[in-house]
Amino acid sequence: MRILVTDGMDTAALAQLREGGHEVVEQFYEPDKLGGALRDFDAVVVRSATKIRKEQIDAAKGSKLRLIIRGGVGVDNIDVAYAEQCGLTVKNTPRASSNSVAELALAHMFSCARYISASGFTMREGKWEKKAYGKGTELGGKKLGVVGFGRIGQRVGALARAIGMDVAAYDIFHIPGIEDQLGIPYMELDDLLARSDVISVHAPAVDGGALINPDTIAKMKDGVIIINTSRGANVDEAALLAGLASGKIRAAGLDVYAEEPPKNDALYTHPRVSCTPHIGAATVEAQQRIGQEIVEIIQQFAAS
């Protein structure tokens, strides 16, 4: 197969594909050029930077393109329904990065609880703000609400339980038996919001607006910590800033933003926002696992 890799891929996986006889081209294309370029490939591998929408799919219609692979969990940068309607196969790698994203969510929880990001920044300015940041809180014993209980949400719940947090989950889909398997109960969203000291969002972007919005924030405890490592569209950034200003929200940990790179400097420079530049899956281990899953998908597809 002739394969286009637009957003990078693990070098060992690339070598494995080439050793298997596939031709691999590593090149990023701007949206207006991508569709035409796809006509010359059997498969394309993307991460989050490349978007494959109706325009690109239409431009590639009638060509040799058969397979689209998203190296990661979410596929909201691909018009999946339209691609499949046009006879294309769309795959992702849902298992590979779950632990990496979950660990980053926990890192942001610790950062918010103990002012790690803010206090570290002041030290780099030559300040010693021991009193200002000496009123942190422990996560052990706190109530965590996980919004979105897929693979990543489940892993966050397991890690949080290991440090002594009291975990509950909400998801629009109830997985039979998962409560007994993990020891984490499901709750209705309003009940989860009202009980939680920390809320961690792990849902795909959905139609109907942000999950964290003025109405849902009003239902939360005073002094809540909000973590978002899912999709930027899941958090109403203006509402988040208002909650931080009023004290309703103690702190927020963000890896994703409504616009990336973010232009909302009031948010990412806020002293009570712990922020990272969308690096949830950016670990050596996750990229190796993603690469291996991509290789397996291509091998199976080529053999079918």
| Residue 124: exposure state from Cβ atoms within 10 A (0-12, 13-18, ≥19) | exposed
Catalytic residue, chosen from 237, 278, 289, 293, is 278
Contact call for residues 118 and 272 (beta carbons, < 8 A): yes
Q: Could you confirm whether 231 is annotated as catalytic?
A: yes
Q: Could you confirm whether 278 is annotated as catalytic?
A: yes
Contact call for residues 165 and 140 (beta carbons, < 8 A): yes
Measured CA distances, 62 to 45, 78, 80, 198 (Å)? 19, 19, 17, 50
Catalytic residue, chosen from 231, 250, 270, 289, is 231
The letter for the amino acid at 173 is F
Other beta carbons less than 10 A from residue 112's beta carbon: 26
Catalytic residue, chosen from 23, 26, 259, 260, is 260
Termini Cα distance of the chain: 12
Q: Could you confirm whether 151 is annotated as catalytic?
A: no
Other beta carbons less than 10 A from residue 118's beta carbon: 20
Look up residue 210 and give its two tokens. 């942000």
The SS3 of residue 287 is helix
Look up residue 84 and give its two tokens. 């499949």
Tell me how far apart the alpha carbons of residues 39 and 56 are, in angstroms, rounded to a whole number. 10
Q: Which residue in the block uniquely carries the two structure tokens 């910590």? A: 225
Contact call for residues 22 and 67 (beta carbons, < 8 A): no
Q: What are phi and psi of 123, to 5 degrees?
A: -65, -35
All residues at 6 or more sequence positions from 233 whose CB lies less than 8 Å from its CB, including other chains = 205, 210, 258
Contact call for residues 186 and 154 (beta carbons, < 8 A): no
- Active-site positions? 231, 260, 278
